[in-house]
Amino acid sequence: MPSLINLESQRDRLVEEIMELAESTSAEEIAGATDSDGADELIVKFNELEAAIADKVDAIVATIAAQKGDIAYLKSRRDEFNRAIDLKIKALEKFENYLKLIIAERPNAQLKGKDATIKIVKNGGVQPIWLNPDIEERNFPPDLVAITTTYKVDRQAVLKKLAESGEDNLVVDGEQIACLQPRGTHLRIG
């Protein structure tokens, strides 16, 4: 089956043939002719190509709609799986907390089985610290505070300056610092 581009190319070539035929036909021939076989044949071909293009466009739109439906279905399944995972994680956390309470009351803080042992152990890594939430970070002693500065370009201010200047480029002190980019595109299907 020919692609949409091939069908459109064929149609464009046919339109050129029809135009050449129309230009080469004199006014007298047009006035006297009731039915030109060559022109009728080209018009029939043109109508067939237009119908094939319309069918191809409809098939493309149907394929895209089917893919979007598949994606929506898979997303809903993903959401169901995520909910099931969350439930299992919470249930396991509750069970582990329950075990921790039981084991904490036992001597040596452990339970031994034939092949495995469950015990409470301290976490490794950096030990957590508590910081008084009533004291703002800037009011901590200076030797305990790191001062950081971050810069963020205000895009709205840049857009406003560009709009005020009426230019596509924003130049400050002879240096280009921003310019408008072409807008993106998307398909509208329907």
Q: What's residue 34's pLDDT? A: 46
Residue with tokens 């047009």: 30
Q: Is the pLDDT score of 95 beyond 70?
A: yes
Query: Tokens at residue 12, please?
Result: 């464009």
How much is the average pLDDT of 101-120?
A: 89
Q: What's residue 75's pLDDT? A: 95
Q: What's residue 122's pLDDT? A: 85
Query: Tokens at residue 133, please?
Result: 């939430």
Residue 130 falls in which region: left (phi positive, over 0), alpha (psi -120 to 50) or beta? beta
pLDDT tens string 63-74: 999 999 999 999
3-state secondary structure of 145: coil
Q: Which one has a higher pLDDT value, 22 or 160? A: 160
Q: What's residue 78's pLDDT? A: 96
State pTM to two decimals: 0.52
How large a percentage of the chain has pLDDT more than 70?
A: 92
pLDDT tens string 8-55: 888 888 888 877 777 777 554 554 554 456 777 888 888 888 888 898
pLDDT tens string 54-63: 988 998 999 9
